[in-house]
Amino acid sequence: MVHSFTLTPTPYVPPPTPPKTYLQRCEEDLNPELASSFDKAAAQLKMKETATLVAFTTLVIGGIIATSLYTPVFIPVTGFSALFLVEPVNRVCHSFKTQAKQASGRADQLRAVSRHYQTLAQSTPLELQQILERKGIYIIPGMQRNDPRLTSLKPLIARHMFWEEHAESLQKRATEKLDEAAKTDKKNSAEDREEIFTLRSEALEWEREALESKCKNAFINAVIHHSNFTGTFTDMGALSPLSGQERAIEAVQGVRNANHFFNFKNSAIPPILYSEAKHCPVFVLGSRMSAAMATA
C-alpha cells in the first residue's frame, strides 16, 4: 500500500518589530509635516462644528416653516422637538471644538519644540554637556563627559527646553492673577470679593497646569538618563484629576491623598506630592521618574 504525503508549507512569520524608544518618537515629531497634519485636523474639526450648527439651525427653521404652512397645529411639537435636540447638538459641537483645540495645541507644541531643536543644531558635545549640567544632569549612563554621542540627545534636550519654558510661562500667569487679586483685596464690596475669589481660582488652575508641565519635564529629564526607554509619561503613572481649587479645598478638609500630585504605577515609589512638585527642582523629580523607569 502506497501512502502519499502532502507537505504543508510553514507560513512565514515576520520577526516582531522592536518597539520605538521615546527618543525615536521625539525625532519623528520634528518632521514639519506632522505639525501641518494637526493644523489640517484642527481646521476640519472646526468646519464640522460649524456645519453641525448650520445644519441644525436650518433643520429647525425649515421644520417650523413647513409645519406652519401645512400642519400649524403641530408647531408646539416641532418647537419642543427642537429644544430636545439642543443639548445633544451642543455636546457634539463641544466635542468637535475640544478636539480642534487639542489638535491646534499639539501643532503649536511641535513647532515650539522644533524651534528649540534648531537652536541646538550647531551645538558641540561640550556645549550640550554644559546645557545638561545647568539642568542638573551630570552623568549619562554609558557616556563620558563631552561624549560625541550627546548630539543624539538633541531631540530630548529640545523637549526639555520646551517644557521648562512652558512651565515658566504658566507659572507667570498664575503669579499675575495673584498680584491682580492682591490689588483688588484692598476693596470690600461683594463684587470685589467675588472677583478676588475668581482670580485666585484662576491662579490655582494656572499653577496646576504649570506643575503638570514641570512633571512632564521631569519625565524628559529621566528619559535623558534612559535613552533606550520605550514607554511614555502615562506608563509611569498618572497626574491627579483634581482641579487646583478642588485640591486646595480637599487639602484644607484633610482629605486623604489630596496632596498626591503624581501617582506612580509602581506603588513602591512614593507619589510626588503637590508641595514637592511646587518646590523641588526638575532634576530631583526626575530622579523619581528615573527610578520608576528602572523598574518598568
What are 210's three cell numbers?
504649570
The gap from C-alpha 19 to its chain's centroid, in whole angstroms, comes to 22
CA distance 100 to 110: 15
Percent of the chain with pLDDT over 70: 88
Mean of pLDDT values over 117-121 = 95
The contacts of residue 32 (CB under 8 Å, 6+ apart) are 114
Model confidence at 60: pLDDT above 70: no
* Cα angle, residue 283 at apex, residues 279 and 285 outer, rounded to 5°: 60
CB-based burial of residue 21 (10 Å sphere; 0-12 exposed, 13-18 middle, 19+ buried)? middle
State the average pLDDT for the chain: 87
Q: Which of 140-149, 156-165, 191-200, 222-231 has the least mean pLDDT? A: 191-200
Which stretch of 42-56, 221-235, 255-269, 272-286 has the lowest confidence by average pLDDT? 42-56
Q: Rounded to an integer, what distance in angstroms lies between the CA atom of residue 245 and that of residue 149?
A: 45
**How far is CA 151 from each of CA 35, 37, 142, 198, 206, rounded to the nearest angstrom?**
23, 28, 14, 46, 34
